[in-house]
Amino acid sequence: MINKARDIARSIYNPYVEDWKNQGKKVIGYPCTYVPEEIIHASSMLPFRLRGIGTTSLSIGDTYFGPVICSFPKAILQLAGEGKYNFLDGVIITPGCDSMRRIHECWRKAGQDFEGILPGYFYYYGVPHKVSDYSIRWFVEETFLLIKSLEDHFGVKIRDGDLENSISVYNRGRELLKKLDQMRMSDDPPVTGEEALAIIIAGFGMPREDYNDLLQGVLYELEHRKVDTGGSKKRLMLVGSANDDLDFVNLIESCGAVIVADTMCFGSRSYNDMVEENDSPVVALAKRYLNHSYCPRMFGYYRDRFNYLLKRVKQARVDGVILQNIRFCDLHGSENSIFERDLEKMGIPCLKIEREYGPLVETGRIKMRVDAFIERISSMNKVEGGRQKA
């Protein structure tokens, strides 16, 4: 089961998507966890999170975005320009950040130059940057507009009953992922950080019912399996901007560590909170996704995000925290610096890494820094006579 998840996580057009398309069904891409997957699911279409894995060049991304910008959206546009996303029947763009927002205009412009790369359905879904009574009301209206747009374009009907069923299915997946978290954070975790990331990412590229079945199989497999991830290996937490790169996590763990927790959007942030099942479904979805304040795109919630990070540090009993961000990511780059300041004050060792999204061209530099970080933690533990406590 874990190998199946890894195969899906390392690919774009996986067997589940191929089978879905062969049945004549539609696939809708989205780049950010602020898009309610339940709405796409309720329309009998497949939600598919856009990723930039497998890029070997950014020639197209650089042309339309420019060079001095986050490489994550550029990698997505690169794959789109190469035709790798031509299987999509639609795309929903959100302002996850300004770079992500610009995919909307850059993809449209590239679509004028590269025939066939712009899906017939291409929608901009506005998401406010703060939570208040008026912003929730506005977001509810925006969500109704998204539903109507999908209904009108694809000739479907998204009923409350369909949404309620989809909410239940997705909440079930979130419950299963939280069980995976508990296993990761145990004293002797039966799963590595690289495996856990693969398991989580698989859910962004396959039908949710199949994913829930896969998760149940994975949890059963892990309950009867032991992996030597304890002992002298340092327990680390990974924090920061989008990371769906299994090799990056594997590189960190190869230095004598195991990643037992995270606070990333390709991680715990995507499933930490549930959708209320006793409310009007559209209102419940709007409240859940807008109150999803774990991303620094949401203004005024630093203290909440820090407390969430600190809670996971304590739950997972980590020895140190790696704060990583993609180069030119102002949101995570700035907040990681504040996290570093506040965590170090509490005696929690931190390593701040800036990197490019995509192939690990900086393997040597990153490995050297992680090795030094592990050595620092070991030295601190020797002086203090044990593991660092949050």
Res 388 pLDDT > 50: no
Kindly indicate the confidence band of residue 229, based on its pLDDT and cuts at 50, 70 and 90. very low
What are the CA-CA distances from residue 340 to residues 97, 264, 306, 343, 353 (Å)? 22, 16, 10, 5, 11
Return the exposure string of 223-248: e unless at least 16 CB atoms fall within 10 Å of the residue's CB, then b.
eeeeeebeeebbbbbbbbbbbbbbeb
> What distance in Å separates the CA atoms of residue 141 and residue 188, rounded to the nearest whole number?
47
Q: What percent of the chain lies above the pLDDT cut of 90?
A: 90
Confirm whether 14-161 and 162-186+232-384 share one CATH topology: yes
Work out the mean pLDDT of the chain and round it to a whole number: 94
> What distance in Å separates the CA atoms of residue 247 and residue 10, rounded to the nearest whole number?
10
Kindly indicate the confidence band of residue 232, based on its pLDDT and cuts at 50, 70 and 90. confident
Task: Give the three-state DSSP class for 349.
Answer: coil
Q: Provide the token pair at 36.
A: 């309610």
Tell me the whole-structure pTM to 2 decimals: 0.94
Contact between 320 and 373 (Cβ < 8 Å): yes
Kindly indicate the confidence band of residue 385, based on its pLDDT and cuts at 50, 70 and 90. low
Helical residues (DSSP H) of 322-362, grouped into ranges: 330-345
Domain definitions of the chain by residue range? 14-161, 162-186+232-384
Res 227 pLDDT > 80: no
Neighbours of 354 (CB within 10 A): 17
80-109 pLDDT, tens digit each: 999 999 999 999 999 999 999 999 999 999
> What distance in Å separates the CA atoms of residue 210 and residue 207, rounded to the nearest whole number?
5
Res 306 pLDDT > 60: yes
> What distance in Å separates the CA atoms of residue 144 and residue 272, rounded to the nearest whole number?
24
Contact between 45 and 27 (Cβ < 8 Å): yes
Q: Which of 211, 239, 171, 235 is nearest to 388 (CA)?
A: 235
147-206 pLDDT, tens digit each: 999 999 999 999 999 999 999 999 999 999 999 999 999 999 999 999 999 999 999 999
Rg of the chain in Å (alpha carbons): 21
Contact between 88 and 77 (Cβ < 8 Å): no
Contact between 149 and 91 (Cβ < 8 Å): no
- Multiple choice CATH, 14-161, 3.40.120.10, 3.40.50.300, 3.40.50.11890, 3.40.1080.10: 3.40.50.11890
**Cα four-point dihedral sign 104, 107, 110, 115:** negative
Q: What is the pLDDT of residue 387?
A: 46
Return the exposure string of 7-26: e unless at least 16 CB atoms fall within 10 Å of the residue's CB, then b.
ebbbebebebbeebbeeeeb
Q: What is the pLDDT of residue 359?
A: 61
Q: Which architecture does CATH list for 162-186+232-384?
A: 3-Layer(aba) Sandwich (3.40)
Ranking 17-21, 66-70, 337-341 by mean pLDDT, the lowest is: 66-70
Neighbours of 216 (CB within 10 A): 14
Q: What is the pLDDT of residue 231?
A: 61
Res 118 pLDDT > 90: yes
**Cα four-point dihedral sign 15, 266, 250, 334:** positive
